[in-house]
Structure 1
Amino acid sequence: MRSPFVQLLTARRFAPLFVTQFLGAFNDNLLKASLGIFVTYRLAEQSGLGASSLVMLAGGLFITPFFLFSGASGTLADRTDKATIARWVKLAEIGIMGLGAWGLWQQSIPLLLAALFGLGTHSTVFGPIKYALLPQHLGADELVAGNALIEAGTFLAILLGTILGGSVVLFDRGALVVGGVGVGCAIAGWITSRQIPPAPASVGPDAPRPRLLRDSLDVVQYVTSQSKLLLPALAVSWFWLFGATVVSGLPVLAKDVLFANEQVVTLMLALFAIGVGVGSILAERLLHGEVSARHVPLGGCVMAFCAVDLYLGSLGRPRATELAGAATFLREPGSWRILADLVGLAAGGGLFTVPLYAILQHESEPSHRARVIAANNIINALAMTVAAVVAAALLARGMTMGELLGLCGVATIPVIVITAWIVRRGLMKGVVRLVLRVLYRVEVDGLEHVRAALPHAVIAAN
């Protein structure tokens, strides 16, 4: 029997959506990274503003649409065919990346910031679509595998976009290359979006029309009123808070704590993306298609342990006169431990978050599914904003990036305890199953038939 990942990646009901979202995530980070480097090294002095101020402004413009338009995007996705919306969104992306390419070519900060706001809006509208599409096109036993591929693909796209955008834009004609790649990927994304099968609206035509801020408040209120949706959303938000802190802090960690250059930053970003992919795939392997949160506490434990050990491993690094390159860094004592911790942290994050996304999709009513995803996006954006503000304040007071990562690991412990308590029955079942398998070599076949017969199955011990 073929792997569920291979089955999905070769099926029209999933593959076009996967490629479309991959290209979109790549473009988001291609432009963000290009703008950050371009502004810092080329345009900051011309504008009369500090580089840090412009980068903070750019980050704020990208995330603002998630607060403003997420609710309306979810409402639109619930009352309209999602495949149709995806095509229009991807068509708009071509124009947005064209604006960004023109801004890079003209070295225009206003054009670049406008394009970044446009991409933020594009991601806000597309986010509820891609996650609400999965339950319509996939079976319940395929949700975990589908989310694992989406999660792994997203982080790989983030890695590739960040590396290409940050490394190429300052070369001779680098802006032209970045702009051309961005527009080309947007066109490719529009083409693949046209292959996404129809995903009809889950509510009737008399459903409320989108209402911008009012919808954002309403969807958050809807999710917070139901613990079965709120708890997974809060847990996912913790992952994004943690992950955003790690990814944004890697350059500072490399330079100020590990005394390493941008080659090591690129290496760590690559390993982080690989780790998330490994953890996402591991989640599907452990659950075998079952929508369950019983392995979420394990993922949290791995995240917490690796973050604390990364901090401990970064202590006492000798200060060097020159920043170490990748080859030199790998020869230094303790470097492999730090990289292993980073991979483990990311893998724990994939194991932690993939089941939670599947639960959000599985537990939400079809008529509200896109709005639930929209509310989750709002809570995620709020968590990442809070993380950025708190991290900036702590770093300004003298905390090192290594200490901040260690603090994130310790702060994950209450999250582990809460999730373990919520899924305590599933954990106990898993422990008993493990004991029976290891000590008594008990194997159970045919559980899929029991699930198919529920809730009327009768199990008689023999």
Structure 2
Amino acid sequence: MADHSQFRLLRERRFLPFFLTQFSGAFNDNLYKNALLLLVTYTTGSLLGLSTDVVVNLAAFLFILPFFLFSAIAGQIADKYEKSMVIRRVKLLEIAIMAVAAAGLWMGWYEVLLLLLFLMGTQSAFFGPVKYAILPEVLKDDELVGGNALVEMGTFVAILLGTLAAGLIMAGGEPQRVAAVGVVVMAVVGYLVARKVPTTPIGDAGLKVRFNPLRETWRLMGMARENHSVLLSIMAISWFWFLGAAYLTQFPNFAQKELLGDESVVTLLLAIFTVGIALGSTLCERLSGHRVELGIVPIGSLGLSLFGVDIYLNMPEASVPVDWWALLSDWDYLRIALDLLGIGLFGGLFIVPLYAFVQQETPEPKRARVIAALNVFNALFMVVSALLGVVMLGLIGLSIPEFFLVLSIMNLIVAGFVYQQVPEFALRFVIWLLSHTVYRVRHQGLHNIPEEGPVLLVCNHVSYMDALVIAGAVRRPVRFVMDYRIFKTPVLGAFFRLAKTIPIGSRNRVPDIYNQAFERIDEELDAGHVVCIFPEGKLTQDGDIDTFRSGVEVILQRRPVPVVPMALRGLWGSFFSHCGGPAFSHWPRRFWSRIELRASAPVAPQQASADALYQQVSELRGDRA
């Protein structure tokens, strides 16, 4: 596992310079923004005749407005031109903006500094699409989740460190000058590391860049709608930013009014939330088995709601002021800290696979524009989040814990809608849960399954869990061929229909179902999908592999495709097998059992007879049933 850890990417040039570039950018954004707001709050008390509360919201608006205006143009540029070049140009723009900002900080031109927030937002809007579009081009498929995890971890850690750095600068001497030097130095550092980002292929050199923001933003929305699963994933990611913005915005008032905490409590809450997201992001790769695994997304959404509800149910009755130590030493307060850690952790589990899925499922020539559409949705959801906070806390008069409860309930509703619209989320969740709790699955040779194109898998049939074990191990979605009678059971039938399983029966007893099965198999293979059959036609009664029937030859005569022999080892004797009597008829004797799934090199359809495949599957399985 150490050889596959995502942290090894931090030692490689194809990833490290990019990681440092995006880290320095996120750090500098937050250093500048928070330094400005603290200067306005503690030095001038107002700006342009506006109160500090209004200035804070105006600053947030100015920073986020460019994402609406320029994301469409940014996506086009990132798809048309070489991405490392785009990154370097954007970082040069950051140096120019920060040079003016440094003069403004040095001279106290706060009105100019406020305007520069709009330019910083513009720079970030142009960096956003290329930031995520470049990852699938420099990383392998089994590194995509780990790379996204590091980017999400780095982003939130940079936000935290930038915020803390602004606070430390304000607490020291000559804060304006120190901040001026700091933002320029970080911008220069970001450009220097950006020069080491490796070159990538150009997505669509013939693309004509159009500079009509409104029309092109509408085009982006249409592009995002081309793939329904990608669109729903984009909406789910934006929903996470909705929740994240809602929580982060309320931290100061939550600490002060609900916990009676001082400034150190606000900082600690932010740090705990950030650490949670970093932990959840890095945990994704281990839980997903180095692949894009949608099965852990529902786990993330469930955790977000459960810990949010727990905050509401277990709010301490604060009566005396507290500091950061009380938050960590008193159980009543510590539970709130752990809840925020849990929200961050499950948020990381929620968002990382979604980002990787959007990147993987979007064609390369338009990937940056789809990411740009995602950024527009993110910005929109964060604005709506702020408006909801104003309505709930201001007009309706909810307390902040009550607001967190409302967010948790809304999250369950949104998650249910997304999973109903894209059944693959719920399907992968069930598969992941069963294959990671009932068994410990080791696999060998699964790289022999082609990454794309039609392929037929053949495997021995030991238990009712065989299909779930295979589906949980194979990277590509698999269409299984299974006995039609299993579809008559209320729960399993609905589940296998959701998985697009193909029902089959005896040619003599149910000829219509038999013929329809081969038609469906041919259609799936023609569409370039993976189909898995169990040529024995039934579960083994004695642990040995039964004779392979001729159905596999019928399939290959109609559609000659590569065949990958597979073998399951260790499932005989489980609760779901016929060992010791019919399956489900005896008490489970073991849990968390170690089982194996082995695959050999693809066999050409001309050599894939039933007898030859039986021999290969038998050799793969060996003596262990």
Q: What range describes the TM-score normalised by the shorter chain of this pair?
A: over 0.9
For residues 410 and 419 of structure 1, the distance between their equivalents in structure 2, rounded to whole angstroms, comes to 15
In the superposition, relative to structure 1, how do residues 363 and 452 fare at CA in structure 2: closer, same or farther (>3 Å)? closer
For residues 426 and 297 of structure 1, the distance between their equivalents in structure 2, rounded to whole angstroms, comes to 9
For residues 231 and 281 of structure 1, the distance between their equivalents in structure 2, rounded to whole angstroms, comes to 24
Map of 1:354 onto structure 2: 352
Summarize the alignment of residues 355-374 of structure 1 with structure 2, pairs less than 5 Å apart: 355-374=353-372
Map of 2:291 onto structure 1: 290
User: C-alpha deviations, 1:9-66, integer Å up to 9, x for none?
Assistant: 1111111110000000001111111122111222234642111111111111000000
More helix per residue: 1 or 2? 1
TM-score, with normalisation over the residues of structure 1?
A: 0.94
Does the 8 Å CA contact 1:364/1:372 hold for their aligned counterparts? yes
Summarize the alignment of residues 55-454 of structure 1 with structure 2, pairs less than 5 Å apart: 55-169=56-170, 171-314=172-315, 316-320=316-320, 323-397=321-395, 398-421=397-420, 422=423, 423-434=425-436, 436-437=438-439, 443-450=442-449, 452=451
In the superposition, relative to structure 1, how do residues 435 and 283 fare at CA in structure 2: closer, same or farther (>3 Å)? closer
* AA in 2 matched with 1:412: N
User: C-alpha deviations, 1:426-461, integer Å up to 9, x for none?
Assistant: 123224424541xxx664433333355863142221
Does the 8 Å CA contact 2:210/2:216 hold for their aligned counterparts? no
* AA in 2 matched with 1:428: V
Map of 1:51 onto structure 2: 52
- Aligned-pair CA distance for 1:195: 0.5
* AA in 2 matched with 1:403: E
- Aligned-pair CA distance for 1:303: 0.7
- Aligned-pair CA distance for 1:420: 4.0
More strand per residue: 1 or 2? 2
User: C-alpha deviations, 1:102-134, integer Å up to 9, x for none?
Assistant: 222222222111221111011100000110000
Aligned residues: 456
- Aligned-pair CA distance for 1:352: 0.0
Does the 8 Å CA contact 1:131/1:361 hold for their aligned counterparts? yes
SS at match of 1:23: helix
- Aligned-pair CA distance for 1:367: 1.0
For residues 286 and 24 of structure 1, the distance between their equivalents in structure 2, rounded to whole angstroms, comes to 29
SS at match of 2:345: helix
For residues 133 and 284 of structure 2, the distance between their equivalents in structure 1, rounded to whole angstroms, comes to 20
For residues 278 and 432 of structure 1, the distance between their equivalents in structure 2, rounded to whole angstroms, comes to 24
Mapped pair 1:42 → 2:40: no
Map of 2:484 onto structure 1: none
User: C-alpha deviations, 1:111-167, integer Å up to 9, x for none?
Assistant: 111221111011100000110000111111111011000000000000000111134
SS at match of 2:149: helix
Does the 8 Å CA contact 1:44/1:54 hold for their aligned counterparts? no
* AA in 2 matched with 1:340: L
* AA in 1 matched with 2:413: P
Does the 8 Å CA contact 1:297/1:352 hold for their aligned counterparts? yes
For residues 107 and 409 of structure 2, the distance between their equivalents in structure 1, rounded to whole angstroms, comes to 46
SS at match of 1:55: helix
* AA in 1 matched with 2:459: A
Does the 8 Å CA contact 2:47/2:110 hold for their aligned counterparts? no
Mapped pair 1:458 → 2:457: yes
For residues 46 and 124 of structure 1, the distance between their equivalents in structure 2, rounded to whole angstroms, comes to 26
For residues 332 and 10 of structure 1, the distance between their equivalents in structure 2, rounded to whole angstroms, comes to 41
For residues 330 and 358 of structure 1, the distance between their equivalents in structure 2, rounded to whole angstroms, comes to 35
- Aligned-pair CA distance for 1:259: 0.6
SS at match of 2:208: coil
SS at match of 1:207: coil
* AA in 2 matched with 1:231: L
- Aligned-pair CA distance for 1:335: 1.1
For residues 392 and 219 of structure 2, the distance between their equivalents in structure 1, rounded to whole angstroms, comes to 33
* AA in 2 matched with 1:430: W
Does the 8 Å CA contact 2:21/2:194 hold for their aligned counterparts? yes
TM-score, with normalisation over the residues of structure 2?
A: 0.70
In the superposition, relative to structure 1, how do residues 241 and 330 fare at CA in structure 2: closer, same or farther (>3 Å)? same
* AA in 2 matched with 1:427: F
SS at match of 2:382: helix
User: C-alpha deviations, 1:361-397, integer Å up to 9, x for none?
Assistant: 0111111100000000000100000000110121113
Does the 8 Å CA contact 2:153/2:278 hold for their aligned counterparts? yes
User: C-alpha deviations, 1:172-209, integer Å up to 9, x for none?
Assistant: 21121122111111000000111011123211335344
Map of 1:15 onto structure 2: 16
Range moving further from structure 2, 410-419 or 147-156:
410-419
Does the 8 Å CA contact 2:303/2:343 hold for their aligned counterparts? yes
* AA in 1 matched with 2:427: R
* AA in 2 matched with 1:100: A
In the superposition, relative to structure 1, how do residues 166 and 213 fare at CA in structure 2: closer, same or farther (>3 Å)? farther
Provide structure 1 residue ranges, at least 5 long, that are not aligned to the other structure.
Answer: none
- Aligned-pair CA distance for 1:319: 2.6
SS at match of 1:458: strand
In the superposition, relative to structure 1, how do residues 303 and 46 fare at CA in structure 2: closer, same or farther (>3 Å)? closer
- Aligned-pair CA distance for 1:226: 2.7
- Aligned-pair CA distance for 1:333: 4.1
Does the 8 Å CA contact 2:22/2:131 hold for their aligned counterparts? yes
Does the 8 Å CA contact 2:278/2:348 hold for their aligned counterparts? yes
For residues 328 and 361 of structure 1, the distance between their equivalents in structure 2, rounded to whole angstroms, comes to 43
User: C-alpha deviations, 1:302-326, integer Å up to 9, x for none?
Assistant: 1111111012222x42332xx3221
- Work out which structure has the larger RCO, using CA pairs closer than 8 Å and 6 or more positions apart in sequence: 1
Does the 8 Å CA contact 1:75/1:210 hold for their aligned counterparts? no
Provide structure 2 residue ranges, at least 5 long, that are not aligned to the other structure.
Answer: 461-544, 546-625
For residues 206 and 369 of structure 1, the distance between their equivalents in structure 2, rounded to whole angstroms, comes to 13
Does the 8 Å CA contact 1:420/1:427 hold for their aligned counterparts? no
* AA in 2 matched with 1:157: A
Does the 8 Å CA contact 1:21/1:130 hold for their aligned counterparts? yes
Range moving further from structure 2, 377-386 or 420-429:
420-429
For residues 280 and 57 of structure 1, the distance between their equivalents in structure 2, rounded to whole angstroms, comes to 31
Range moving further from structure 2, 64-73 or 239-248:
239-248
For residues 113 and 24 of structure 1, the distance between their equivalents in structure 2, rounded to whole angstroms, comes to 18
Range moving further from structure 2, 257-266 or 331-340:
331-340
* AA in 2 matched with 1:90: K
* CA RMSD, Structure 1 to Structure 2 (Å): 1.8
For residues 206 and 379 of structure 1, the distance between their equivalents in structure 2, rounded to whole angstroms, comes to 23
In the superposition, relative to structure 1, how do residues 19 and 183 fare at CA in structure 2: closer, same or farther (>3 Å)? same
For residues 328 and 351 of structure 1, the distance between their equivalents in structure 2, rounded to whole angstroms, comes to 29
